[in-house]
Amino acid sequence: MRGFQGKTLGTPIGRYRLLQKNSPSSLLLDFGRAGGFVRGFLFNRRFIHLATQYKVGIVGATGAVGHELIRLFTDRRFPLSSLRLFASARSTGREIQVGGFTGTVEEAKPEVFDDLDVAVFSAGAGISRALAGEAVRRGCVVIDNSSAFRMDNAVPLVIPEINGEALASHKGIVANPNCSTAITLMGLCPLHREFGLRRFYAATYQAVSGTGAAAIRELEAQVKAHVEGGASECSVYPHPIAFNLLPHVDSFLDDGYTKEEMKMLNESRKILGLPDLRVSTTCVRVPVIRAHSLAVFAEFDRPVDVERARAAIGKFPGVEVVDEPANNRYPMPLDYAGKEKCGVGRIRRDAASENGLAIWIVGDQLWKGAALNAVQIAEELAASGHLRVPAGV
């Protein structure tokens, strides 16, 4: 904390009391001032007085990501004036309790955004297309977790640790990347900055919770049926997922890739600012409840070095190196469910590429792949003074 001086924060700060550490760059503090302490939120060396509070809405609050958004907005002590929950008309009146928060679901319709500062959408692309524009017109910033606006040139697609500066140009909507893209780039971005990324190949191992609560129930039911000698029933996936792998995430396109696989290509190019980046991905659904894993083989412009790679990843915010194969230590989904950081291990030279590295990445797709990234975007917008719809939009 010695580096956080009053000049950096723009306020005469001396003593402090650490109340909560959300992440290496996100702290809740009481700062010493004349006559006592002022409570504030420190995010990437920027200070938000908690007197500045925001009216927040969650669209799609009944889903798995919606529940995690509630948990993270409250646990990270985002400066909330109010937190309202929205879903379809059939869920109106439903009570949702997450941790110490209890809220009642309202119907998501245009007029609810009149009294909100920011809304996080996690209800699918159709709902986002129908309501996000209305929200912005009514003065509410939208952080969208669907695919609706990711490739819109007028909408920033943001992972705060990687391209947070893009938030300054938002026109009311900010897009959250696809879960697999977000987790992959958390491992690849520090290597790109060190060696210059040219291309990468990836195989994903995606947990069923990425499909939703029904997929979790289907996996559990199939495991139970297998143990009891019964037949596996399939309703969410076209084949049994228990004790099986499905090389099929999202719908297939004419060229043989799936939409999910093309998201990795297109979103990576936009986030990293590399329009000519070459990417080939195979996405696989696996019988894991939570946290995605990826095997990534990346080729770079400059000669690579494994120790430099470990150092670059180790100092990058939001990532940790777990790479001790001799001691059976490497990232695994069980260790990263409900964890803020992504883990990177199995770091080695790619034997099939001259300037290549092979790495293994694991991250919670409900957190860094969705809810956490959205809350971090809200934090960054608040800290930078951009949590508002720009004039003239």
Query: Which residues are part of the catalytic machinery?
Result: 179, 292
Query: Residues with Cβ < 8 Å from 219, sequence gap 6 or more?
Result: 208, 241, 242, 287, 289
Alpha carbons 326 and 224: distance in angstroms, whole number: 35
Pairing mode, if any, of strands 80-87 and 54-59? Answer: parallel
| Nearest partner of 237 among 245, 225, 226, judged by Cα | 245
Query: Counting every residue, how long is the chain?
Result: 393
**Would you say 14 and 38 are in contact if contact means Cβ atoms under 8 Å apart?**
no
| Nearest partner of 96 among 108, 84, 83, 105, judged by Cα | 105
- Could you write out the DSSP letters of every residue in 312-361? HHHTSTTEEE--BGGGTB---HHHHTT-SSEEEEEEEE-TT-TTEEEEEE
**3-class SS at 235?**
coil
Which token pair is 94?
Answer: 């439903």
As a whole number of Å, the CA-based R_g of the chain is 21
CA distances from 25 to 20, 35, 282 (A): 12, 27, 33
